[in-house]
Amino acid sequence: MLRWGRALRPRRRGVPAGSPAPRGAPGRPLRTAAPLSSDIFRAELEPGLRRLGQTLKNQLPALGGIPGGWTPPGNLPGSRPPEEADVVVVGGGVVGWSVAYWLKLLENRQHGMKVLVVERDPTYSRASTVLSVGGIRQQFSLPENIQMSRFSASFLRNIDEHLGVQNEPPIDIQFQPSGYLFLASQKGAARLEATVQLQRQEGVQVALLSPTQLKAKFPWIDTEDVAVASYGLEDEGWFDPWTLLNAFRRKATSLGVLSCCGEVRGEMGEHTVGNPPLPPSGPPSHTHPPQILQIHMPDSLEYQPVSCAIVINAAGAWAGELLKAAGLPGWLCQPPLPIEPRKRYVFTWHCPDGPGFSCPLLVDTTGAYFRRDGISGNYLGGISPPEEEEPDPGDLSVDYDFFQEEVWPRLARRVPSFASLRRGRAWAGYYDHNTFDRNGVLGPHPKLENLFLVAGFSGHGLQHAPAAGRAVAELLLKGRYESLDLGRLGWKRLVEGEPLEEDGVV
């Protein structure tokens, strides 16, 4: 079997393995051969190949059950969840692992609280994190979203200081600082200009471009119906989502966070502190939620009861379903959590005459978007469908007609060279869509004081994970926000029916 870091050497014909090399013929002096150029090349190449091999091992998703496959940290083959934990984080995407990391970091003591992360799919084949396009931007219309992006940008810029693990190679998230470019028609120009003013007040470096300036900077754009554009000058672009998820997971594991593969299924309301609550004449302001979760093992009827003090719902697109299925009395589920999965397609294509290396992530007036994918004429992009045409989220199949009918015409109208593109592969992923106002919901449940939520980011969870994870950890450990005030993103707005609208949902 081949193993990493071990080179195969050819055996000499007729010489048993392990025999010493033959010496010079009798009477003939030994000569030292000059190093061959191929030997020098191999000596220089082998260290690089070893580093590449280690990087691939770190970045490939888990290959469960395959001989030689990589096992995610904290997921020993056949391991069971512990019988008790202080905090159980349901959902092992980048948001869940960020919460777990910040909990242990801010606790700042050895052998402290026991934190368990539960992920039902350790291969992450359906995870929103790794199926996203990896964008980060500062151009939002809500102050809290801008502040979270600025926090996350600083975090990613210094990622090794935060998530570096001793004796492991530096973290390379492959950040491409090409910026975001939003285009607005005459109808949306005033709104975009007002949003840019807010962003500047929050410290964002963003430029407003007239059609003439836009054409001068990006000559490949058709500007006929563009009234104004906003272009991010700093801390915007895209990066590799899997690397960030893996970095959070490795660091959290090194700090003592436990993890397991399993699924929390609808037993959250079947075990309570004391006697089960009777239907009240009027719902109390607080009640004690369940303290025992049942974690079902994969491909098995077996489950493990886990006693815990705090449950953090970081289940992303399934956060709403998890709470609905929790078996809680109806009066505890009001208001309902308005988070549901929405399927989004990402298409790739090749166009050798398309925009060059300076191509940003462009968001068209129609809502279609695209960005460069590498440096050799490859691109990826898509568009969110109208509400009434949402695809069935029951699976991750791709409708290629959607590209032909909805995406390609819009892109070819904006970038004429795309008229001759060649479509490549495609995939689908999930948005944890908040139907109430398309913003994240953070903090404790209004009636279940030890159930916390961090979900509903509607496509922005990857870039806001560092900030949101720290905010929830602060709230749990210290009872208040310290780094960022995200109080307006709590459950209160759902109870009072006051949405916080975000214009910059792509």
Looking at the domain assignment, is residue 378 inside a domain? yes
In 3D space, the residue among 167, 220, 451, 142 whose CA is nearest the CA of residue 315 turns out to be 451
Same domain (yes/no): 91, 170: yes
Instruction: Give the CATH number, domain containing residue 317.
Output: 3.50.50.60
pTM score, whole prediction: 0.81
More confident residue, 326 or 458: 458
By residue range, what is the domain housing residue 402? 178-234+341-432
The pLDDT of residue 324:
79
More confident residue, 182 or 272: 182
Secondary structure (DSSP) of 266-277? S-TTS--SSSPP
What residues contact 269, with CB distance under 8 A and at least 6 apart?
289, 290, 326, 327, 328, 329, 332
Looking at the domain assignment, is residue 462 inside a domain? yes
Q: What is the pLDDT of residues 278-320, one digit of tens each?
A: 333 333 344 444 478 889 888 778 888 999 999 999 999 999 9
Domain final residue, candidates 381, 416, 432: 432
Q: Which of 11-20, 143-152, 255-264, 272-281 has the highest mean pLDDT?
A: 143-152
Query: 3-state SS of the chain: helix, strand, coil percent to 5?
Result: 30, 20, 50
Looking at the domain assignment, is residue 51 inside a domain? no
Same domain (yes/no): 329, 456: yes
Using pLDDT thresholds of 50, 70 and 90, give the confidence band for residue 5: very low
Dist. CA 101–CA 89, nearest whole Å: 11
**Percent above pLDDT 70 for the chain:** 78
The pLDDT of residue 329:
66
The pLDDT of residue 122:
86
CB atoms inside a 10 Å sphere around CB 451: 20
Same domain (yes/no): 170, 262: yes
Residue 479 CB burial class (10 angstroms; 0-12, 13-18, ≥19): exposed
In 3D space, the residue among 256, 240, 245, 211 whose CA is nearest the CA of residue 95 turns out to be 245
Same domain (yes/no): 240, 127: yes
Looking at the domain assignment, is residue 203 inside a domain? yes
State the residue for tokens 């081949």: 2
403: DSSP letter:
I
Domain final residue, candidates 408, 432, 456: 432
Q: What is the pLDDT of residues 170-179, one digit of tens each?
A: 999 999 999 9
176: DSSP letter:
B
Same domain (yes/no): 152, 218: no
Looking at the domain assignment, is residue 399 inside a domain? yes
For residue 114, give both structure tokens: 């026991």
Same domain (yes/no): 244, 363: no
State yes or no: pLDDT of 248 exceeds 70.
Answer: yes
Residue 491 CB burial class (10 angstroms; 0-12, 13-18, ≥19): middle
Q: What backbone phi and psi angles, to 5 degrees, belong to 89? A: -100, 115
Beta-carbon-side half-sphere exposure of residue 257 (alpha carbons within 13 Å): 31
State yes or no: pLDDT of 28 exceeds 60.
Answer: no
What residues contact 82, with CB distance under 8 A and at least 6 apart?
114, 116, 258, 306
Looking at the domain assignment, is residue 22 inside a domain? no
The pLDDT of residue 44:
58
Let me know: does 403 contact 426? Beta carbons within 8 Å. yes
Helix H, strand E, coil C: the string for 280-294 is CCCCCCCECCCCEEE
Domain final residue, candidates 412, 432, 452: 432
Looking at the domain assignment, is residue 254 inside a domain? yes
Single-letter amino acid, residue 39: D
Same domain (yes/no): 149, 264: yes
Q: What is the pLDDT of residues 358-384, one digit of tens each?
A: 999 999 999 999 999 998 899 999 999
The pLDDT of residue 57:
52
Let me know: does 503 contact 195? Beta carbons within 8 Å. yes
**Percent above pLDDT 90 for the chain:** 68
Q: What backbone phi and psi angles, to 5 degrees, belong to 229? A: -140, 150
Looking at the domain assignment, is residue 24 inside a domain? no
State yes or no: pLDDT of 6 exceeds 80.
Answer: no
Same domain (yes/no): 480, 469: yes
> Helix 94-107 and helix 461-478: axis angle, to 10°?
30
Same domain (yes/no): 332, 345: no
Q: Which of 8-22, 209-223, 435-449 has the highest mean pLDDT?
A: 209-223
Same domain (yes/no): 155, 191: no
Same domain (yes/no): 315, 327: yes
Count of structural domains within the chain: 2
The pLDDT of residue 110:
76
How far lies 163's CA from each of 77, 252, 431, 473, in Å? 25, 8, 26, 16
Instruction: Give the CATH number, domain containing residue 212.
Output: 3.30.9.10
Same domain (yes/no): 319, 462: yes
